[in-house]
């Protein structure tokens, strides 16, 4: 004897379907804001610290965005820190308090990451466009791996970088 039971499908109530669509849209909107920042570097963009054309060095780009919407690109984290430590010199009329966002390029991933939570390796055998550099990484494991593979000396956090550390990088031969 064959079974005469047929599967029954019910259509969701209109309110449930609407909420499902709204949740999906909200998730997509949140995910798009969580993505890395989109930047466009023009051939004319120059580092305000050294004057170098930044577009030639996309693997090293750093960026500061001020609250008024102006932004500056750098050919490495070292020059970015020089600007932060002496903001008025490189951007008269602006102060470090008016900085909105700061980004550096993760050395392995080659993507912009927030500068403050990043890990920086110094003293390695890898040179940047302006010589000895701070090499940024988004996580400690990547920074440690790089340090071991490239004879790095130290891993620093953003708040540990000082003007004297930056100066010592410039003085290394």
Q: Percent of the chain having pLDDT more than 70? A: 76
Does the pLDDT of residue 83 top 70, yes or no? yes
Please determine, for residue 5, whether its predicted confidence score (pLDDT) is greater than 50. Answer: no
The tens digit of pLDDT for each residue in 133-171 reads 999 999 999 999 999 999 999 999 999 999 999 999 998
Q: Where are the domains of the chain?
A: 62-171
DSSP string, 92-130: TT--GGGEEEEEEE-TTT-SEEESTT-EEEES-S-EETT
pLDDT per position as a tens digit, 18-42: 444 444 544 444 333 444 456 688 8
pLDDT tens-digit profile of 91-102? Answer: 999 999 999 999
pLDDT, residue 13, reads 55
Report residue 88 as tokens.
Answer: 């008025």
pTM value is 0.77
Residue 79 contacts residue 130 (beta carbons within 8 Å): yes
The distance in angstroms from the start CA to the end CA of the chain is 90
pLDDT at 12: 52
pLDDT of residue 15: 55
């Amino acid at each position: 004897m064959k079974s005469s039971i047929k599967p029954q499908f019910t259509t969701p109530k209109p309110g449930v379907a609407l909420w499902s669509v709204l949740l999906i849209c909200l998730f997509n909107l949140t995910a798009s804001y969580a993505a890395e920042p989109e930047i466009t570097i023009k051939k004319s963009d120059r580092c305000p610290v050294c004057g170098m054309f930044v577009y030639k060095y996309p693997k090293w780009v750093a960026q500061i965005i001020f609250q008024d919407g102006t932004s500056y690109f750098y050919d490495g984290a070292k020059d970015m820190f020089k600007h932060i430590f002496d903001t008025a010199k490189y951007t008269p009329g602006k102060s470090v308090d008016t900085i909105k966002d700061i980004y550096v390029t993760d050395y392995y991933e080659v993507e912009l990451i927030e500068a403050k939570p990043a890990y920086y390796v110094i003293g390695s055998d890898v040179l940047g466009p302006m010589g000895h550099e701070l090499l940024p990484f988004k996580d400690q494991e990547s920074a440690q791996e790089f340090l071991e593979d490239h004879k790095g000396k130290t891993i620093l956090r953003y708040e540990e970088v000082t003007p004297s550390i930056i100066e010592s990088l410039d003085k290394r031969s």
